[in-house]
């Protein structure tokens, strides 16, 4: 699925759900966040800390042949942060550089999550997207 | 009907032993009809991941704060929250949560603004339950809605506003943030940049006691003698003093407020919930940088 159609499908899934179900959906995402492959699990120093998030979350972006791959690490006691990371993984992983960079910076605000988790908490997802795009930009030009 | 107090010897040393319960006590009383267990976390999804059986969730953002004005919910919203949580005016409420009970203490403080009589904390926070070998559940709690009266929020006794702080100079102020926030090295708490302020430092004359000094490594509160040696010994506070505590948005200082008020028995301690996110951005108020408290300006 292209990044664009993933975005539409995520927006529909969340917006069609009641506020309470949006939280359950976020929980499902949280539980489906892929584990770090051992090359990163054994080298936490390679990962970038997302400082804007209240819980410790680290991310790393790989760009190969114009294809973006994302890696996240966040502890189980931070399910909201894991959920945000998992949504971005679903949205962006496997996309092209141009597709990832074209994603709306306000994407986090388009899922109807503000009511369920509060706007302040959503800032964490905005910050993750911002850092992902920055890493993609840096790595695409190398 | 008030539920019997936890007789644990450790709690009996505190000024108000009735405000804490242990995991064992909670497990014993879990089915008591006059008791309601409340989970209050920083992470809004943690309750869904697993909670103490029969507990309800109260979230500081979505339940306790007004969604428009920077303030707590008013009488009608608090009444509605209590009723959908199955809490009556005479229900014994035990609150627990993540992060050493920061948000649990914050929720307790808001309950107290509305004068709810019997509110207690689970000593050792959320982990006390699992550490004691009890299970969390994902089963949704069936709540029978209760009736709760419409009560006015008392913003005078336990809460301080910025003008109260300006009028308070000369009396003790307690800054419970990290040493870097206190000295002005950073405008925000480590890892929490979204809750920053325009200036860094502390309120003049405020003494620094980072909140975590009140707890053991397992998140339980330190015994009374140890708490006393920090706040009363080292910092020279007296239980007859009028004290205002603050942090960044008032949650960590609720934790220290709880320690002073209930564990050490300070009669007159208030929480300044505007805290550094307000003071550090206010035009024209005095601020001190560095590790020394600095002199108190003339009270206004």
B61 touches chain A (CB under 8 A): yes
Q: What's the pLDDT score for residue B205?
A: 98
Provide the whole-model pTM. 0.92
Q: Which of A27, A52, A78 sits opposite B48 (nearest CB)?
A: A27
Interface test with A, best of B40, B42, B49, B84 (most A CBs within 10 A): B49
Distance CA A82, CA A72 (A): 8
Contact residues on chain A for B45, CB-CB shorter than 8 A:
23, 26-27, 30, 79-80, 83, 117
pLDDT tens figures, B118-175? 999 999 999 999 999 999 999 999 999 999 999 999 999 999 999 999 999 999 999 9
Domains of chain A listed by start with CATH number: 3-140 (3.90.1010.10)
Residues B181 and B200 sit within 8 Å (Cβ to Cβ) = yes
Between residues B1 and B216, the one the model is more confident about: B216
d(CA B174, CA B231): 10
Rounded Cα–Cα distance for residues B115 and B157 (Å): 10
- Give the containing element (helix H, strand E) for B76: helix B75-84
For residues B232-250, average pLDDT: 96
pLDDT of residue B222: 98
Q: How far is B279 from chain A (nearest CA, A)?
A: 19
Q: What is the pLDDT of residue B188?
A: 61
Chain A CB contacts of B98 under 8 Å are 77
Helix (H, G, I), strand (E, B) or coil at B38: strand
Identify each DSSP E strand in chain B by its residue range.
20-21, 35-39, 56-57, 92-96, 119-122, 173-175, 207-208, 242-246, 268-272
- State pLDDT tens for residues B67-113: 899 999 999 999 999 999 999 999 999 999 999 999 999 999 999 99
Q: Is B33 on the interface with A (CB under 8 A)?
A: no
Is residue B247 part of the annotated active site? The answer reads yes
ipTM given for this complex? 0.83
């Amino acid at each position: 699925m292209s990044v664009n159609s993933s975005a539409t499908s995520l927006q529909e899934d969340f917006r069609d759900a009641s506020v309470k179900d949006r939280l359950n959906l976020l929980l499902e995402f949280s539980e489906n966040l892929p584990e770090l492959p051992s090359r990163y699990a054994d080298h936490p120093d390679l990962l970038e800390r997302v400082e804007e998030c209240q819980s410790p979350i680290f991310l790393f972006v790989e760009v190969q042949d114009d294809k973006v791959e994302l890696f996240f690490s966040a502890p189980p006691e931070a399910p909201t942060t894991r959920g945000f990371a998992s949504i971005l993984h679903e949205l962006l992983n496997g996309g092209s550089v141009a597709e990832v960079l074209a994603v709306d910076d306000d994407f986090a605000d388009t899922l109807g999550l503000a009511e369920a988790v509060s706007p302040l908490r959503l800032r964490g997802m905005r910050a993750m997207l911002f850092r992902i795009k920055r890493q993609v930009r840096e790595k695409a030009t190398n | 009907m008030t539920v019997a107090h936890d007789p644990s010897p450790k709690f009996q040393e505190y000024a108000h032993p009735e405000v804490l319960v242990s995991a064992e006590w909670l497990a014993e009383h879990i089915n008591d009809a006059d008791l309601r267990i409340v989970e209050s976390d920083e992470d809004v999804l943690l309750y869904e991941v697993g909670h103490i059986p029969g507990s309800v969730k109260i979230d500081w953002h979505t339940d306790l704060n007004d969604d428009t004005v920077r303030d707590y919910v008013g009488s009608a919203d608090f009444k509605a929250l209590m009723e959908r949580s199955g809490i009556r005016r005479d229900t014994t409420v035990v609150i627990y949560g993540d992060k050493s009970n920061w948000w649990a203490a914050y929720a307790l403080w808001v309950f107290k603004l509305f004068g709810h009589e019997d509110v207690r904390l689970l000593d050792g926070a959320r982990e006390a339950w699992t550490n004691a070998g009890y299970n969390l559940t994902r089963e949704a709690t069936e709540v029978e809605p209760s009736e709760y009266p419409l009560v006015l929020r008392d913003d005078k006794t336990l809460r301080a506003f910025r003008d109260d702080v300006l009028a308070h100079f000369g009396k003790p102020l307690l800054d419970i943030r990290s040493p870097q926030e206190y000295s002005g090295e950073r405008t925000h708490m480590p890892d929490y940049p979204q809750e920053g302020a325009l200036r860094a430092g502390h309120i003049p004359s405020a003494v620094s006691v980072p909140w975590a000094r009140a707890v053991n490594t397992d998140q339980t509160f330190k015994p009374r003698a140890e708490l006393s040696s920090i706040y009363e010994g080292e910092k020279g506070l007296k239980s007859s003093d009028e004290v205002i505590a603050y942090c960044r948005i008032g949650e960590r200082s609720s934790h220290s407020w709880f320690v002073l008020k209930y564990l050490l028995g300070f009669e007159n301690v208030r929480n300044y919930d505007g805290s550094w996110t307000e003071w550090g951005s206010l035009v024209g108020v005095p601020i001190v940088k560095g590790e020394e408290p600095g002199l108190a300006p003339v009270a206004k």
